[in-house]
Chains A and B, each alone.
Chain A
Amino acid sequence: MQYNFDFDYIWSSAPALLDGFILTVQVTAISIVLTVIVGVIGAVIRVLAVPVLSHLVIAYVSLVRNTPLLAQIFFIFYGLPSIGLGLSIFNSGVLALVIWGGAYNVENVRGGFLAVPKGLREAGASLGLRPLPYMWLIAIPLGIRVSLPAVLNTSVSVLKNSAYLQAIGLAELTFVAMERIAMDFRTLEMFAAIGLIYLGLVLTLSILVRRIEHVMHRPFRG
Chain B
Amino acid sequence: MDLLVDSSGLFFDGLVWTFKLALLTLFFATAISMIVGVMSVTGLRLLRAVALIYVEFFRDIPLLVSLFFVYFGAPLIGIPLDPFAASAATLSLWGGANGAEIVRGGFNSIPQHQRTSAAALGLKPWEIYWFVLAPQALLPIIPPFTGLFTLLIQSTSLAALIGVPEFFRIAQIVVERTTMIEGHSPAFLVFGVVLLVYYAICSVLNLGTRKLEQYMHTRTARTVVSAEVQIIDRRAEESV
Contacts and interface: CB of A to CB of B under 8 A. Distances in A.
A75 B161 contact: no
Interface in B167-183: 168, 171-172, 175
A72 interface: yes
Contacts of A82: 184-188
B157 A71 contact: yes
Interface residues of A, number: 39
Interface in A45-71: 62-63, 65-71
B27 interface: no
B65 A198 contact: yes
B206 interface: yes
A194 B188 contact: no
Contacts of A178: 68
Interface stretch (A10-18, A138-146, A157-165): A157-165
Contacts of B206: 66
Contacts of A65: 150, 202
Interface of A is mostly: helix
Most buried by A among B62, B69, B189: B62
Contacts of A83: 188
A160 B202 contact: no
Contact of B61 (A63, A160, A167): A160
A180 to B, nearest CB: 12
Interface string B18-36: 0000000000000000000
Contacts of A63: 195, 199
B1 interface: no
Contacts of A187: 72-73, 76
A80 interface: yes
27 contacts: A3-B77, A62-B203, A65-B150, A66-B203, A68-B154, A68-B168, A69-B154, A70-B160, A71-B194, A71-B195, A75-B187, A75-B195, A78-B175, A78-B187, A81-B187, A83-B188, A160-B63, A164-B62, A164-B64, A164-B158, A174-B65, A178-B68, A181-B72, A187-B72, A188-B76, A191-B72, A202-B60
